Amino acid sequence: MTFKRTQSALFVIAALGLAACGDKQEASSQSEPQALTKKDAQQFVEKAQQDLAEMLVPAAQAEWAYQTYINQDTAALSAYFNEKVTSKATSYAKEAAKFNSVEVDADTRRKLNLMSNILVMPAPGDPEKSARLAQIGSELGGMYGAGKYCRTEDECFSLPEMSNIMATERDPKLLLEMWEGWRQVSPPMKALYAEQTELANLGAQELGKKDLSEQWRGSYDMEADAFGQELDRLWGQVKPFYEALHCHVRAELGEKYGEDIVPQNEPIPAHLLGNMWGQSWGNVYDIVKPEQKMDVIDITKALEEHNYDEIKMVKQAESFFSSLGFDPLPETFWERSMFKQPTERDAVCHASAWNLDNVEDLRIKMCIQKNGEDFSTIHHELGHNYYQRAYNKQPTVYQGAANDGFHEAIGDTVALSITPKYLKEIGLVDTIPDASNDIGMLLKLALDKIAFVPFGLMVDQWRWKVFSGEVTPEQYNTAWWELREKYQGLKAPVDRPADAFDPGAKYHVPANTPYTRYFLAHILQFQFHRSLCEIAGDKGPIHRCSIYGSKEAGAALNNMLEMGQSKPWQEALETLTGKPEMDATAILDYFEPLKAWLDEQNQGRQCGW
Ligand SMILES: [Zn+2]
């Protein structure tokens, strides 16, 4: 769920600081001396697509070179192309908006909308303001990147070090120190963030939007306000299950740390959940796990016993897709990918999937560790690659996911099929543990994925209110914690200082990466999985289902993938699931045995906050 540079075409633009999507708007703020025609619109779309397509390839190559071989020159090249693509996309977005009131065919309209909605932080036309916006963006990024906490003058902690302590240490004083320490990085961001919001709102208004909030919410093939309501509806479906999970976790944390630290009728203090942001809780599994011993497959051990190296792990993941009927990966994938951490140069190890020429130059970039987690991540990354290849025949602006939640969801959907049944079929394990052992696996997964859902929702709830002016800079931090409490049932472990800017301590806020995509991906992956299992004819419980080997499921998946962004996401969704609505009830189906178990554990406990 972390930010990954994936996808192609417009998604590369998104990775370079912009994002794609669609909406319709009346009247641009620019005056039009001559009436524009339908033909002008079509010509513009054709030319812009061709131009973008040509620019994206060298930009992706420069970025690949930089991320796999960090040095002064590759950094300069990557920055050079980044700037080129950004300014080109900005000018096309503005030009596309000029056709807002011109009558055109539906396909051209969709392409224009996608182009004009491409910007996450639209720059105002005034060159001084535009330069200031770019400067703030890089300052905020720099402040986050350089962030550290120093206990004394010579004892400092980086974010990865602190994250590691949050994950593994159990001394509440130390956890609180790290939690507060990291949040010292963000107060200086606050004034910059407010200024950035003002400037980007101007830019959004020049594109014909009310403000940046409308620009962000309007990228989902429906009215901005209706989309917000849709998210609330989905959250309502998950909430009872989340509350049961929250109740159990709070009770176990109370037992571990004492009820004076974890009061049983209040939100959970955010520093005790094994994660710097309390966003996923898998690291406290050992505290909240079932008492009875669970027979859980150790994939890491199985990989070792069967002599899997990095390449064999990737080959196995490829064969998963081959079993669904997808063509093998091209030879160049094996020649050009980065599978291992380079020994004599710096590289970005964060896993990602690429299509450099937007045709067949597929690659992954990973520093693969020979363990179960990375085995799953490889399946996930290849999910991106197969999606990229499936839509490569679409026009350039349609080469992207149906909406920004879909790309992440596809990778995760595939990873959900790494079940004991699959591991047995590929010969990694000899026996499938009995169903009574599933609770442990389901609880771990729920701590990672379901605990995340309300966080995935609240980050942009906060930003939308900030962008629209409903939340003023003085209210930044209190509004953040109101939403943290409302959705997640978490609270700050200590009173926050008056200058605190806790949203800035989360990467995606200073980096301006929209976050709703992660919420959507968490809902969609279970919905996709449930549908694919039905198509594959799997009659068992869906948490035990693997679509491995099902050509029918593969064909259904491919039908959706190859649409890319050419149609509203509702149509893509319907192609696979038979319904045009997102539906979070698949989460409830998937975790049904766990919900029953949690309800049992929670008997006599006071739940809620
Ligand atoms: Zn991904």
List, in order, residues 6 or more apart from 249 with CB less than 8 Å away: 268, 273, 281, 284, 288, 447, 451
* Segment 452-506, tens digit of pLDDT: 999 999 999 999 999 999 999 999 999 999 999 999 999 999 999 999 999 999 9
Q: What confidence score (pLDDT) does residue 9 get?
A: 35
CA of 367 to the centre of ligand 1 (A): 15
pTM more than 0.85: yes
From the list 272, 191, 279, 587, the residue with the least C-alpha distance to 459 is 279
* Segment 228-263, tens digit of pLDDT: 999 999 999 999 999 999 999 999 999 999 999 999
Say if CB 314 and CB 339 are below 8 A apart: yes
CA of 94 to the centre of ligand 1 (A): 30
Q: What confidence score (pLDDT) does residue 27 get?
A: 38
CB atoms within 10 A of CB 426: 16
Q: What confidence score (pLDDT) does residue 14 get?
A: 42
Poorest-confidence range of 146-150, 186-190, 348-352, 447-451?
A: 348-352
Question: What percent of the chain lies above the pLDDT cut of 90?
Answer: 81
DSSP class of residue 344 equals S
From the list 388, 379, 470, 485, the residue with the least C-alpha distance to 426 is 379
> How far, in Å, are 439, 488, 593, 600 from residue 605 at the CA level?
20, 19, 19, 10
- Distance separating alpha carbons of residues 466 and 475, to the nearest angstrom: 9
- Distance separating alpha carbons of residues 98 and 118, to the nearest angstrom: 15
- Dihedral pair phi/psi, residue 446, rounded to 5°: -65, -40
Poorest-confidence range of 13-27, 114-128, 284-298?
A: 13-27
Residue 15 has pLDDT above 50, yes or no: no
What is the arithmetic mean of pLDDT over 578-588? Answer: 97
Would you place residue 296 in the very low, low, confident or very high pLDDT band (cuts 50, 70, 90)? Answer: confident
3-state secondary structure of 593: helix
CA of 173 to the centre of ligand 1 (A): 35
CA of 1 to the centre of ligand 1 (A): 7
Say if CB 396 and CB 12 are below 8 A apart: no
- Distance separating alpha carbons of residues 415 and 173, to the nearest angstrom: 37
Kindly write down the DSSP assignment for every residue of 557-571, as one continuous string.
HHHHHTTTTSS-HHH
Say if CB 32 and CB 55 are below 8 A apart: no
- Dihedral pair phi/psi, residue 418, rounded to 5°: -80, 70
Say if CB 188 and CB 143 are below 8 A apart: yes
Residue 348 has pLDDT above 90, yes or no: no
- State the SS3 of 515-543: CHHHHHHHHHHHHHHHHHHHHCCCCCCHH
Q: For residue 472, count CB atoms less than 10 angstroms from its CB and return exposed for 0-12, middle for 13-18, buried for 19 or more.
A: exposed
- Dihedral pair phi/psi, residue 365, rounded to 5°: -130, 110
Residue 215 has pLDDT above 80, yes or no: yes
CA of 118 to the centre of ligand 1 (A): 20
Q: For residue 250, count CB atoms less than 10 angstroms from its CB and return exposed for 0-12, middle for 13-18, buried for 19 or more.
A: buried
From the list 416, 443, 417, 528, the residue with the least C-alpha distance to 241 is 443
CA of 410 to the centre of ligand 1 (A): 8
CA of 414 to the centre of ligand 1 (A): 11
Q: For residue 534, count CB atoms less than 10 angstroms from its CB and return exposed for 0-12, middle for 13-18, buried for 19 or more.
A: middle
Of 350 and 286, the one with more pLDDT? 286
Which residues is 158 bridged to in the sheet?
148
Q: What confidence score (pLDDT) does residue 16 get?
A: 34
CB atoms within 10 A of CB 174: 13
Of 551 and 435, the one with more pLDDT? 551
CA of 176 to the centre of ligand 1 (A): 31
Mean pLDDT, the chain, whole residue set: 91
Residue 10 has pLDDT above 90, yes or no: no
Both structure tokens of 587: 């989460």
> How far, in Å, are 160, 357, 468, 565 from residue 562 at the CA level?
38, 17, 36, 9
CA of 381 to the centre of ligand 1 (A): 6
CA of 605 to the centre of ligand 1 (A): 38
CA of 449 to the centre of ligand 1 (A): 14
- Distance separating alpha carbons of residues 156 and 150, to the nearest angstrom: 4
Which positions are catalytic?
A: 350-351, 380-381, 384, 408, 508, 518
Q: What confidence score (pLDDT) does residue 79 get?
A: 86
* Segment 408-444, tens digit of pLDDT: 899 899 999 999 999 999 999 999 998 888 999 999 9
What is the arithmetic mean of pLDDT over 152-157? Answer: 95
Q: What confidence score (pLDDT) does residue 33 get?
A: 58
Q: What confidence score (pLDDT) does residue 435 get?
A: 87
From the list 119, 57, 71, the residue with the least C-alpha distance to 91 is 119
Would you place residue 119 in the very low, low, confident or very high pLDDT band (cuts 50, 70, 90)? Answer: confident
What is the arithmetic mean of pLDDT over 117-140? Answer: 89
Dihedral, 222, 225, 226, 232 alpha carbons, nearest 10:
130
- Distance separating alpha carbons of residues 450 and 455, to the nearest angstrom: 10
Would you place residue 218 in the very low, low, confident or very high pLDDT band (cuts 50, 70, 90)? Answer: confident
Strands 362-365 and 352-355: antiparallel
